[in-house]
């Protein structure tokens, strides 16, 4: 694979290496730098000098050392074995590196991304003589208990199937031979794809299918769809990572690609330890059976961090092409942007806002645009989707900073995390007043049909109660709670219950961590029902004090712990509400 052309290092400054003598090398071509053969990528060519961002520490590299071309841009290996893997930003398998090189990451260490020792059973789905084009499914491999890996014709290729048969072997095993314009093309279970290029699709469609996440504030108030984009900005400690983990765990995507980009090592360990033990609510299988992890922690080289989101999205697109719905979590895109800033600074580029490169906006937009609901290339018009959920870590929690602002211009859902909520241990600390989802109408329409006809009515009502509460709060702050009418006091009570007993959700409680849409509806409905009843009770002569201290409130509080298979308990609580109000009035 090595092109073999060799040049020489002339300058080293941190992760940036400049070399000469690489005639013919292209932008974004991969090279191997120095005596250790460090991975690097050409990011600037100027008068015979090639600037290279290296994906590994450059200590010990100096002028005169060799730089070797590979002739290929940064690419990922795609094939059976991706699921359950953990990679660094340039798709080096961290488990294999740990096994072969020890607990520290050794420079220049290489292992194939897909494990060559694993055997796969290939079952053909086309026949000799069929005409196949890019994206067509040649056959399948059962990759995990729940994922059927489809072996596809590489994009841009086509021909007549000459040979194909069931076969067992590693990913390099030839599964089919295709006659392409007179020459023979050998197809194996693995293909390579340059990460910075989006994989082709037949056409993009507007995303319309709801992605259920089991998180009440998200599904009910700020929903996301399959193929949609969302961002989660928030200062540190506001719970971005927990939100991302919750989505990776519970979102009803078929495949999850989790990119830990410049974040904490211990957090990735958390995912690695937890996911094999957690069961996917849809399939009952361990979550790991549908997950690909990318871990480029903050102390790992900054250039590999820059590459990691592209590596992640290329893998996500590959599964999308099989017809799966894929969710990609990127935590955090700010670290990715900072990696760009760092490299840009070393290149001495003219900085834009806050030192970020001027192309920050276009890179961010380009990344999020790779999400979408699509008709995949190949026959049978199968549909696939990639959703992107990016965390943003604004410095000082300041949302006016460039990464947040450029992200908001392209994403459709905004879950704004609020540290005031986090301090009061209200999690998820999504601010219900500032967040938004542009998919709301789509999801409302769907949920009204599939969950309950009152879904959107209830949602709108609950939101207006919360908004009214915010206004009343201002008033209370100025003149005290006595200034409120009894009507308003009841509303404040309802709002508080929506906040504390519906929106507040404990990610670490087994019974509370995931709530089905049906139960979400019932929970909110219960609070609204209580609100209606106490208002009636008030006009029928019950005292405010009595209405605010009903014993049945305790039942509403505990409703979040009702198991998913005993939702009929909600009817009983509703009856209790009616009865206890009636008891007051009589």
Which of positions 532-551 make contact with other proteins (CB under 8 A)? Answer: 549
Supply the DSSP string of 325-390, one letter for each residue.
Answer: EEEEEEETHHHHHHHHHHHHHHTTPPB-GGG-BTTHHHHHHHHHTT-EEEEPSSGGG-EEEEEEEE
Q: Which is nearer to other proteins, 83 or 97 (CB)?
A: 97
- Does residue 482 bind other proteins (CB under 8 A)? yes
Least spacing, CB of residue 514 vs other proteins, in Å: 17
- Does residue 429 bind other proteins (CB under 8 A)? no
- Out of 52, 67, 83, 94, the only residue in the binding site for other proteins (CB under 8 A) is 94
- Does residue 479 bind other proteins (CB under 8 A)? yes
Least spacing, CB of residue 481 vs other proteins, in Å: 6
Q: Which is nearer to other proteins, 150 or 305 (CB)?
A: 305
Pairwise CA distance, residues 532 & 539, whole Å = 11
Please, are residues 302 and 15 in contact by the beta-carbon 8 Å criterion?
yes
Least spacing, CB of residue 239 vs other proteins, in Å: 9
Please, are residues 162 and 129 in contact by the beta-carbon 8 Å criterion?
no
Least spacing, CB of residue 334 vs other proteins, in Å: 8
Q: Which of these segments, 76-84, 246-254, 389-397, 522-530, binds other proteins (CB under 8 A)? A: 389-397
Q: Which of these segments, 75-83, 195-203, 351-359, 515-523, binds other proteins (CB under 8 A)? A: 351-359
Site residues for other proteins, 225-264, by CB under 8 A, read 235-237, 260, 262, 264
Least spacing, CB of residue 22 vs other proteins, in Å: 16
Residue recorded with tokens 């894929």: 326
Residue 374's alpha-carbon distances to 204, 317, 354, in angstroms, are: 4, 10, 36
- Out of 283, 298, 516, 525, the only residue in the binding site for other proteins (CB under 8 A) is 298
Q: Please give the size of the binding site for other proteins, defined by CB under 8 A.
A: 77
Least spacing, CB of residue 314 vs other proteins, in Å: 20
Pairwise CA distance, residues 393 & 261, whole Å = 12
Please, are residues 79 and 170 in contact by the beta-carbon 8 Å criterion?
no
- Does residue 434 bind other proteins (CB under 8 A)? no
- Does residue 268 bind other proteins (CB under 8 A)? yes
* Residue environment code for 53-62, b if the CB has 16+ CB neighbours within 10 A, otherwise e: bbbbebeebe
Burial tier of 5 (Cβ tally within 10 Å: 0-12, 13-18, 19+): middle
Q: Which is nearer to other proteins, 6 or 173 (CB)?
A: 6
Q: Which is nearer to other proteins, 64 or 284 (CB)?
A: 64
Alpha helix locations (H) across 413-485?
Answer: 419-423, 440-450, 455-479
Structure tokens belonging to residue 113: 């991304």
Least spacing, CB of residue 557 vs other proteins, in Å: 6
Site residues for other proteins, 438-477, by CB under 8 A, read 476-477
Please, are residues 139 and 126 in contact by the beta-carbon 8 Å criterion?
yes
Please, are residues 386 and 317 in contact by the beta-carbon 8 Å criterion?
yes
Pairwise CA distance, residues 410 & 402, whole Å = 13
- Out of 46, 47, 127, 273, the only residue in the binding site for other proteins (CB under 8 A) is 273
Give the strand order in the sheet containing 137-142.
148-152, 137-142, 120-124, 167-169
Least spacing, CB of residue 17 vs other proteins, in Å: 8
Q: Which of these segments, 37-45, 346-354, 363-371, 407-415, binds other proteins (CB under 8 A)? A: 346-354
Residue 399: CB atoms within 10 A of its CB come to 17
Q: Which of these segments, 57-65, 316-324, 366-374, 444-452, binds other proteins (CB under 8 A)? A: 57-65
Q: Which is nearer to other proteins, 150 or 249 (CB)?
A: 249
- Does residue 485 bind other proteins (CB under 8 A)? no
Site string for other proteins, 512-531 (x = CB under 8 A): --------------------
Structure tokens belonging to residue 100: 């072969």
Pairwise CA distance, residues 69 & 8, whole Å = 11
Least spacing, CB of residue 431 vs other proteins, in Å: 16
Phi-psi label, residue 14: left if phi above 0, alpha if psi -120 to 50, beta otherwise:
left
- Out of 27, 98, 131, 145, the only residue in the binding site for other proteins (CB under 8 A) is 98
Pairwise CA distance, residues 402 & 377, whole Å = 36
Least spacing, CB of residue 177 vs other proteins, in Å: 37
- Out of 27, 48, 59, 543, the only residue in the binding site for other proteins (CB under 8 A) is 59
Structure tokens belonging to residue 147: 């994922």
Site residues for other proteins, 409-428, by CB under 8 A, read 419, 422-425
Least spacing, CB of residue 250 vs other proteins, in Å: 17
In the chain, what is the straight-line distance between the N-terminal and C-terminal CA atoms, in Å? 86
- Out of 102, 156, 166, 206, the only residue in the binding site for other proteins (CB under 8 A) is 102
Please, are residues 203 and 294 in contact by the beta-carbon 8 Å criterion?
no
Site residues for other proteins, 181-220, by CB under 8 A, read none
**Could you tell me which residues are beta bridge partners of residue 229?**
388
Q: Which is nearer to other proteins, 11 or 157 (CB)?
A: 11
Site string for other proteins, 301-340 (x = CB under 8 A): -x--------------------------------x--xx-
- Does residue 341 bind other proteins (CB under 8 A)? yes
Structure tokens belonging to residue 137: 């499914």
Name the nearest CA neighbour of 336 among 260, 412, 413. 260
- Does residue 97 bind other proteins (CB under 8 A)? yes
Residue 392's alpha-carbon distances to 122, 259, 329, 331, 540, in angstroms, are: 41, 13, 11, 7, 51
- Does residue 393 bind other proteins (CB under 8 A)? yes
Q: Which is nearer to other proteins, 283 or 405 (CB)?
A: 405
Burial tier of 240 (Cβ tally within 10 Å: 0-12, 13-18, 19+): buried
- Out of 47, 181, 541, 554, the only residue in the binding site for other proteins (CB under 8 A) is 554
Pairwise CA distance, residues 437 & 440, whole Å = 6
Return the DSSP state at 427: S
């Amino acid at each position: 694979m090595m092109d073999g052309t060799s040049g020489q290092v002339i300058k080293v400054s941190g992760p940036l290496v400049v070399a000469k003598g690489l005639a013919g090398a292209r932008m974004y071509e991969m090279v191997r730098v120095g005596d250790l053969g460090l991975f690097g990528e050409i990011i600037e060519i100027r008068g015979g000098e090639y600037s290279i961002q290296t994906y590994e520490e450059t200590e010990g590299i100096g002028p005169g050392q060799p730089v070797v071309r590979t002739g290929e841009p940064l690419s990922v290996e795609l094939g059976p074995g991706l699921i359950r893997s953990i990679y660094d930003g340039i798709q080096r398998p961290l488990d294999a590196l740990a096994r072969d090189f020890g607990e520290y990451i050794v420079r220049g260490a290489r292992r194939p991304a897909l494990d060559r020792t694993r055997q796969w059973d290939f079952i053909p789905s086309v026949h000799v003589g069929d005409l196949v084009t890019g994206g067509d499914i040649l056959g399948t491999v059962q990759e995990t208990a729940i994922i059927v890996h489809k072996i596809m014709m590489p994009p841009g290729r086509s021909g007549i199937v000459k040979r194909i048969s069931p076969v067992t072997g590693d990913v390099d095993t030839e599964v089919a031979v295709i006659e392409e314009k007179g020459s023979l093309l050998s197809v194996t279970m693995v293909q390579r794809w340059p990460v910075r290029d989006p994989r082709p699709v037949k056409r993009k469609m507007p995303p319309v299918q709801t992605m259920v996440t089991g998180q009440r504030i998200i599904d009910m108030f700020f929903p996301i769809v399959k193929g949609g984009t969302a961002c989660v900005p928030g200062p540190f400690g506001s719970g971005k990572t927990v939100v991302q983990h919750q989505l990776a765990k519970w979102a009803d995507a078929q495949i999850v690609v989790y990119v830990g980009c410049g974040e904490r090592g211990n957090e990735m360990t958390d995912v690695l330890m937890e996911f094999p033990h957690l069961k996917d609510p849809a399939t009952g299988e361990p979550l790991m059976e549908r997950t690909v992890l990318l871990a480029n922690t903050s102390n790992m080289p900054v250039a590999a961090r820059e590459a990691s989101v592209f590596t992640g999205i290329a893998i996500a697109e590959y599964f999308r092409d099989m017809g799966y719905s894929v969710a990609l979590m990127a935590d955090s895109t700010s670290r990715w942007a900072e990696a760009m800033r760092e490299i840009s600074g070393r290149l001495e580029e003219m900085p834009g806002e806050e030192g970020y490169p001027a192309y920050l906006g276009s890179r961010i937009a380009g990344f999020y645009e790779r999400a979408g609901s699509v008709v995949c290339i190949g026959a049978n018009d199968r549909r696939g989707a990639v959703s992107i959920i990016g965390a943003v870590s604004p410095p000082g929690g300041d949302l006016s900073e460039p990464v947040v602002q450029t992200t908001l211009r392209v994403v459709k859902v905004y879950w704004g995390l609020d540290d005031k909520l986090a301090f009061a241990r209200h999690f998820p600390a999504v601010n219900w007043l500032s967040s938004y989802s542009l998919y709301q109408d789509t999801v409302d329409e769907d949920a009204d049909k599939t969950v309950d006809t009152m879904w959107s009515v209830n949602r709108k009502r609950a939101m207006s109660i919360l908004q009214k509460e915010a206004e009343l709060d201002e008033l209370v702050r100025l003149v005290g709670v006595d200034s409120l009418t009894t009507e308003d006091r009841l509303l404040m009570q309802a709002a508080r219950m929506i906040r504390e007993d519906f929106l507040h959700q404990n990610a670490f409680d087994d019974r509370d961590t995931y709530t089905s849409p049906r139960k979400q509806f019932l929970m909110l409905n219960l609070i609204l029902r209580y609100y209606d009843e106490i208002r009636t009770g008030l006009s029928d002569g019950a005292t405010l004090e009595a209405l605010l201290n009903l014993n049945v409130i305790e039942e509403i509080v505990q409703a979040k712990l009702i198991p998913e298979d005993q939702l009929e308990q909600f009817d009983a609580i509703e009856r209790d509400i009616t009865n206890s109000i009636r008891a007051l009035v009589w």
